[in-house]
């Protein structure tokens, strides 16, 4: 395998792992801080893939919401 391809795949895997960990933590603890309304289990399941894919944005919003309370 070409070293550049290996680097890209490793970076993609790292992004995915960080995304899944961030999404699980966000769905478990942070979603009610960003959105003050109650969130059902079904809604948390629906939020999970998007939070994993967009974890930098989710983490930014979560940190910003933490500072306002």
This prediction's pTM: 0.87
Q: Residue 1: what pLDDT?
A: 85
Q: How confident is the model at residue 66 (pLDDT cuts 50, 70, 90)?
A: confident
Closest by CA to 51, choosing from 20, 10, 6, is 20
Secondary structure of residue 59 in the 3-state scheme: helix
pLDDT digits (tens, 9 = 90+) for 13-59: 999 999 999 999 999 999 988 888 899 999 999 999 999 999 999 99
Q: Residue 16: what pLDDT?
A: 98
Q: Residue 36: what pLDDT?
A: 84
Q: Residue 50: what pLDDT?
A: 97
């Amino acid at each position: 395998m070409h070293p550049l391809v290996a680097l890209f795949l490793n970076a993609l895997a790292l992004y995915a792992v960080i995304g899944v960990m961030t999404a699980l933590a966000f769905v478990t603890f942070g979603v009610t801080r960003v959105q003050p309304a109650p969130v059902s289990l079904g809604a948390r399941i629906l939020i999970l893939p998007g939070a994993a894919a967009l974890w930098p944005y989710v983490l930014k919003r979560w940190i910003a919401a933490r500072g306002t309370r």
